[in-house]
Amino acid sequence: MLYRHPKCRRVNEQLTRRMAGEIVVSNSPGKTLRKWREIFQLSQKHLASLLGVNPSVVCDFEKGRRRSPGIATVRRLVETMVSYDRAHGGRVAGSMAGQQGNSAITDIREFAIGLPIATVVEAIGGEVIAGTEELERTIYGYTIVDALRAITTFSGANFGQMYGWSNERALFFTGVQFGRSPMIAVRAHPVKPRLVCYIQPGSIDKLATKLADMERIVLVSTSASQEQIQQRLRQL
């Protein structure tokens, strides 16, 4: 079924502009292109097929073996991926639309390129509580959520909005007392984040740690404020 949100056209246009802008201004346009290709869950071969080019062309762009693509090429790449998304249910555009106006989500962003979890944890001064063996996994963005507001207002569909364009991301929760409820919610949802971080928690319940281990999720706490975290993450 095609994605038929009433603001579908505007959302697709916003998505197209954002993607193109990120790729054009990126210091590593190939890595940024790869990030978006993976968010759309397209292999290099599949994207090349949609573009009508040899897979080596996409591979060379991503690895920097070709000169940075021009505006026209970037636009074609981006519009191809957005059109593919629209024709296959609008998962990516739908997640963008769902983020708008959700009061429990206080910040949501995608990184310019994928980053190891360890890099993010170090940037926020985090303490790893569970999942140390998963620290080298790559994540592509983060979401900051007001835990209390999410618990009192989220439906099952709303919960999925926290994942932005990819579940390969970090979820930060504010207003956490014991850490049990957010991890129970994460455990119950079929889509899992790679990293869960509690911002200035009261304490962390042993059940939260156990659930993180069961789901192979890196669980972290940090004494940094939300404002400090946002500032540090935007510098990555």
Residue 159 predicted with pLDDT over 80: no
Give the pLDDT band of residue 3 (cuts 50, 70, 90): very low
What pLDDT is recorded for position 6? Answer: 46
Strand partners, 199: 222
Is the CB of residue 134 less than 8 Å from the CB of residue 109? no
For residues 87, 92, 95, 101, the Cα torsion angle rounded to the nearest 10 degrees is -90
For the chain, helix, strand, coil in percent to 5 are: 55, 15, 30
7 pLDDT exceeds 60? no
Q: How many CB atoms lie within 10 A of CB 77?
A: 22
Closest CA to 234 of 100, 105, 110: 110
More confident residue, 107 or 156: 107
> What is the average pLDDT across 85-97?
80
Contacts of 102 (CB under 8 A, 6+ apart): 158, 161
Mean pLDDT of the chain: 87
Q: DSSP letter string over 15-30? A: HHHHHHHHHHH-SSHH
What are the structural domains of the chain? 8-94 (1.10.260.40), 103-234 (3.40.1390.20)
Q: What is the pLDDT of residues 16-27, one digit of tens each?
A: 988 898 898 888
Least confident range of 87-96, 167-176, 192-201: 87-96
Average pLDDT over residues 161-189: 87
Q: pLDDT digit string (tens) for 68-81?
A: 778 889 999 999 99
pLDDT at position 224, please? 97
Q: How many angstroms separate the CA atoms of 7 and 15, rounded?
A: 12
N-to-C CA span, the chain = 37
pTM beyond 0.75: the answer is no
Structure tokens at 86: 């629209």
Answer yes or no: are the C-beta atoms of 185 and 153 closer than 8 Å: no
Task: Give the per-residue pLDDT at 145.
Answer: 92
Give the whole-angstrom CA distance, residue 105 versus residue 172: 10
CB atoms within 10 A of CB 53: 13
Least confident of 110-114, 170-174, 210-214: 110-114
